[in-house]
Copies of this chain bind each other. A is one copy, B any other.
Amino acid sequence: MSCCSADGTQKMKLHVLPISANSHGCLAIVKALGLEDKGLEIVDAMGKTRTEEFLAMNPCHCCPTLEYGGEKGAIWESCACMRTICQLFEGGEKYYPKDPIMRGKIDLVCDWKNTSLYPPFFHIAYMMFGVTVDEAKAKEDFKKICDEHFPVLLDTFLKDTKFCYSDTPTIADLGVAPLFTLIKGRPKFWAAVPEGVKEYHARVLEAFPGADEYFKMLDGMATAYKGDGADAEP
Contact = CB atoms under 8 A, between A and B. Distances in A.
A68 B100 CA distance: 11
Interface of A: 59-60, 66, 68, 72-73, 75-81, 83-84, 87-88, 100-101, 103-105, 107-108, 110-112, 114-116, 118-119, 151-152, 155-156
A129 to B, nearest CB: 17
A80 B111 contact: yes
Nearest to A65: B108
- A interface secondary structure, majority: helix
Copies held by the complex: 2
Given A88-B100, A100-B87, A114-B114, A76 B151 contact: no
A232 to B, nearest CB: 24
Contact of A111 (B104, B114, B151): B114
What are the 5 A-B residue pairs with the smallest beta carbon separation, nearest first? A84-B104, A77-B111, A80-B107, A87-B100, A75-B108
